[in-house]
A and B are shown apart, each in its own frame.
Chain A
Amino acid sequence: MRRNHDGLIDGVAIIAILLAAWQALFAYAGDVAITPPLATMRYLVTLLGSASFWPNVEATMLAFVEALVISTLLGVGLGLWLGLQRFAGDVAEPILAGLYTVPKVTLYPVILLLFGLNLSAKVAFGVIHGVIPIVLFTLIAVRNLPPVYRRAARTLRLTPWQTITTVLAPAVMPEIVSGLRIGFAVTFLGVLIGEMFASQRGLGFLVINGISSHNVRLTTAVTLLIVLFAVSANWLLLAFARHWSSQGRDRHELA
């Protein structure tokens, strides 16, 4: 109880420090660079109340959800397969890790040339960002499973599909959720960057539009919205991962 209490105080303190730092940044850089916290929140509320703002949110969310579904299916599928096929996994892992360190923004022109200036370019950009961490997390999770799990599955003569759905998937769930948390964040990042370069709509477009038209109020407010969305989604996934891994521990203790 006491710990919870302390945690709450610390949380409030951190938020207060962040807000103070923001205010100080405003005092230092002035309103050509940033608007102060209170004014930004007020403007954000106005934005959220205006009808012309929502199509932008919708455009970003549509591309994001599409990209996230593709990255997840592709990433988890490929990760499970590479984790099970040890040799293929060993061959692929450093290649994937290498690709992860490539600055993917530079590939943007290729994506544009391949997909054109529309929704699918943003989606593709989100996918190339998000899919690799999901594959890597799943692969490593499957590879590090205690071998006894798979032996048990073989003893019970489970089909490959049954092995995946009843043994492997539940066992690697916590790591997959961690992978998804990273994948979620980078997919969102990918979609936003996609919108910043070549889009007529979306939150990324609003940010870049705000910059080029010196609309600091718009840029700061949309940035705040993006950060709030990213942080709260991340927090939810984190709580979900903790829930899963504590359940896993309980199961171990029972066994």
Chain B
Amino acid sequence: MSRAAAVVWTRVAVIAGCVLALEIACRAGLINPLTLIPPSAMAAAMVELLLSGEINGDVAHTFLTVAIAFVAAVLVGFTLGAVLHGLRRVRRAIDPLLASYYAIPIFVFYPLLVAIFGLNNLPLIAIGFLAAVPAMVIATLLGLDRVPRVLRKTARMYRLGHVTTVLRIVLPAALPNLFGGIKLALAYSFIGVIAGEFILSSGGLGYGIAYAYDSFENRAMYGRMLFVLLVAIITNGILYTWEMRLNRRRGRM
């Protein structure tokens, strides 16, 4: 067995072992069932919720919100990053702002956003967007910084036009960083939207969890919670694998 396969199988075994240990601890009564229900019961509750269509509305609502926030953040973040890359002085002035952006708990602005946009979907989109956009800006700046100078020179030697240079030289060279930015933007917009729903909202998955918690519906709560966890982890896993493959292909070049 190759080392890579051994790593993957050990990882699977570790995760399975944790889930199993939790299951046993719950079934054996070490953990109060009012606190935590066994993982198998969580999975059953999740499947039930999905099959009965009870959470379909919430899921669609949340996913749509995340999708809008994510796409907007990637487009705006990339454009801002590219523009800032060209304006040196502005960039130097904004750098400290970007560096400390994530030190600010953006959630504290949620009430402000509600007051501005009203109690609809827009404040949630704004929170997801605001959480994701700086990650994309930073990744774009880093990616453009790391385009080797020799590649730009080569482009000039071949007398490539502006558009061709960007499409065939700059973007491919900056791709690993851009991909990292997109990955973070997706995670952050998802976290932002779910947290916003959880704190102050009247719909969506985050709200569903808060509602189930307030009304002591453990099964409904853990079913939804597991769903959110799985969506986050599986999406991240797919992107991680994709990124690895991308980097490997670049390594071969």
Contacts and interface: CB of A to CB of B under 8 A. Distances in A.
Interface in A1-15: 6-7, 10-11, 13-14
- Which secondary structure characterizes the binding site on chain A? helix
A102 B93 contact: no
Interface in A43-81: none
A83 to B, nearest CB: 15
Interface stretch (A91-99, A149-157, A168-176, A247-255): A91-99
A95 B11 contact: yes
B11 A91 contact: yes
A192 interface: yes
A102 B89 contact: no
Contacts of A105: 191, 194-195, 198-199, 206
Nearest to B200: A211
A207 interface: yes
A101 B187 contact: yes
B194 A103 contact: yes
Contact of B100 (A7, A13, A211, A231): A231
Nearest to B106: A189
Contact of B187 (A100, A182, A226, A231): A100
Contact of A185 (B103, B109, B236, B240): B103
Interface in B164-207: 187, 190-191, 194-195, 198-200, 206
Contacts of A181: 103
Interface stretch (B49-57, B68-76, B147-155, B226-234): B226-234
A234 interface: yes
B215 to A, nearest CB: 11
A145 interface: no
B96 interface: yes
Nearest to B196: A105
Chain B interface size, as a band, is 35 or more
B212 to A, nearest CB: 8
B109 to A, nearest CB: 7
A19 interface: no
Given A103-B195, A103-B228, A106-B194, A230 B100 contact: yes
Nearest to A32: B115
Given A87-B10, A91-B10, A102-B233, A226 B102 contact: no
Interface in A211-226: 211, 216, 219-220, 222-223, 226
A207 B10 CA distance: 45
Q: Which among B14, B104, B105, B229 has the greatest number of chain A C-beta atoms within 10 A?
A: B105
B246 interface: no
B225 interface: yes
B116 A230 contact: no
Given A94-B11, A94-B240, A13 B93 contact: yes
Interface string A121-142: 0000000000000000000000
A162 to B, nearest CB: 30
A33 to B, nearest CB: 3
A33 B209 contact: no
A205 interface: no
Contacts of B103: 181, 184-185, 188, 230-231, 233-234
B237 A102 contact: no
A182 B14 CA distance: 27
B236 A101 contact: yes
Contacts of B236: 97-98, 101
A226 B112 contact: no
A113 B33 CA distance: 11
Interface centre among B34, B103, B107, B116 (most CB of A within 10 A): B103
Given A33-B112, A33-B116, A102 B232 contact: yes
B229 A102 contact: yes
A108 interface: yes
B11 A189 contact: no
A97 B190 CA distance: 15
Pairs of residues from A and B, 6 with the lowest C-beta to C-beta distance, nearest first: A33-B115, A10-B93, A101-B187, A234-B103, A103-B194, A185-B103
9 contacts: A11-B93, A90-B7, A95-B11, A98-B237, A105-B194, A189-B105, A210-B111, A223-B108, A238-B96
Interface of B: 6-7, 10-11, 14-15, 34-36, 89, 92-94, 96-97, 99-100, 102-105, 107-109, 111-112, 115-116, 187, 190-191, 194-195, 198-200, 206, 209-210, 213, 221, 224-225, 228-229, 232-233, 235-237, 240
